[in-house]
Amino acid sequence: MTYDAQAVRALLDEILAALASAPESDETRALRERLARFTALSGAELTPALALEASAIPLGAMRVFPKEARGQVGAKANAMKQAADAALAQEKEAALALALAEERTGKGFDATLPPPLPSRGSLHPITQVTRELEDLFTSMGWTILDGPEVETEHFNFDALNISPDHPARDTMDTFWVKTAPGAERLVMRTHTSPVQVRAMKRLTPPFRAIVPGKVFRNEALDASHEHTFHQMEGLVVGKDISVGHLIGAMKTLLRGIFGRDIEIRLRPGYFPFVEPGFELDARCPFCKEGCSVCKRSTWIELLPCGMVHPNVLRAGGIDPEQWTGFAFGLGLSRLVMLRFSIDDIRHLLGGDVRFLEQF
């Protein structure tokens, strides 16, 4: 059916007539009222858009019509819908052709206007913070190192003085990679610490290095635990390196991150690859009396650290009688959350553009 406003009106009248032989009810009354709005319109007023709207009314309430009328009503309403659809498509095409023809006349074209700019992406918040920290550490003479994400069991555990029965090797925490029987066992690295030993093997002391990177754990996920997250390892090896150097470096790190001096405290912490080991807490940078970020304690648990264990220096080919060092393992993803007030770690690698566009 080609679109003809008069014919549409006639169809609507026929549909209303079919409705008239249905037993009176609230539904029939409502339907009649809804259709009457369209039958009252003159031919010129019954645009394809209105006809489309009108055709949907009987199609959505077929059971109100007497059984024997339903087939005809349905066919009529469908014909009306198709004609209106086709007319709308034609209208759209005509409008487009008109706009195009107008554009081609060159009227209204201003050659001096700047071209529309392509929309630009932005750096991921983890990349932003990583780059800031890299700038900070390289300005102090530290080197930036990288290491493999698929790591050998040796570097991920053994060389770090982590005994074969340590719970961290448990399948609950570690993603083991399938390897051929007899081949060296591989893991998705569970921390950036394996690069400590790789660095020791590659560099000649004294040296200072940071290692930002992705790590993987077979964890139960929640707002602060991801299976894939970022850490930044720090390692210093030199003559007479002491806890004093460690504290100094951590204070500089926090000043770089938060833009001012932050009070810190060290608590004992156990990691097989450091001795002594510490958990470093920073005074909450967001409050004085306690807030949701510091869980009302005014302290934020920020980074584990400690003096490099002699066994680790040995595994890296460094004589612990001559050299000492400190190391830290910053939870980079958690720091990014603090920095940008992100309430759920899963947003970071979730890939949702609406989240990423905010940075």
Where along the sequence are the contacts to ligand FA5 (CB under 6 A)?
191, 193, 217, 219, 225-226, 229, 231, 233, 271, 274, 277, 304-306, 327-329, 331, 333-334, 345
- Closest approach of ligand FA5 to the CB of residue 231, in Å: 5
The residue type at 205: P
CA triple 249-254-256, angle to 5 deg: 95
CB of 337 to ligand FA5, least distance (A): 9
**Backbone φ and ψ of 55, nearest 5°:** -65, -25
Closest to ligand FA5 by CB, 205 vs 331, is 331
* Rg (alpha carbons) of the chain, rounded to whole number: 35
Q: How far apart are CA 145 and CA 137, in angstroms?
A: 12
Which amino acid, one-letter code, is at 243?
Answer: V
Handedness of CA 171, 174, 180, 182 (dihedral sign): negative
Helix (H, G, I), strand (E, B) or coil at 320: coil
**Largest Cα–Cα distance of the chain, in whole Å?**
105
Please, which residue, 9 or 208, has the CB nearer to ligand FA5? 208
In angstroms, what is the minimal distance from the CB of 99 to ligand FA5?
Answer: 53
> What is the H or E stretch that residue 12 is in?
helix 5-20
Cβ-based nearer residue to ligand FA5, 205 or 304: 304
Residue 32 or 227: the one with the smaller Cβ distance to ligand FA5 is 227
| CA 12/CA 3 separation, integer angstroms | 14
**Whether 145 contacts 199, CB under 8 Å:** yes
44, 87 contact by CB (below 8 A): no
CA–CA gap between residue 33 and residue 45 (Å, rounded)? 18
64 vs 145, beta carbon nearer ligand FA5: 145
At 272, list the tokens: 């097989």
Supply the minimum distance, in Å, between the C-beta of residue 285 and ligand FA5. Answer: 16
Of 81 and 334, CB closest to ligand FA5: 334
Rounded-to-integer distance, Cα 254 and Cα 54, Å: 67
Q: Which residue is nearest to ligand FA5 (CB)?
A: 331
To the nearest whole angstrom, how small is the minimum distance from the Cβ of residue 339 to ligand FA5? Answer: 13
Q: Cβ 329 to ligand FA5, closest distance in Å?
A: 2
Compute the least distance from the CB of residue 108 to ligand FA5, in Å. Answer: 55
Shorter beta-carbon distance to ligand FA5: residue 54 or 336: 336
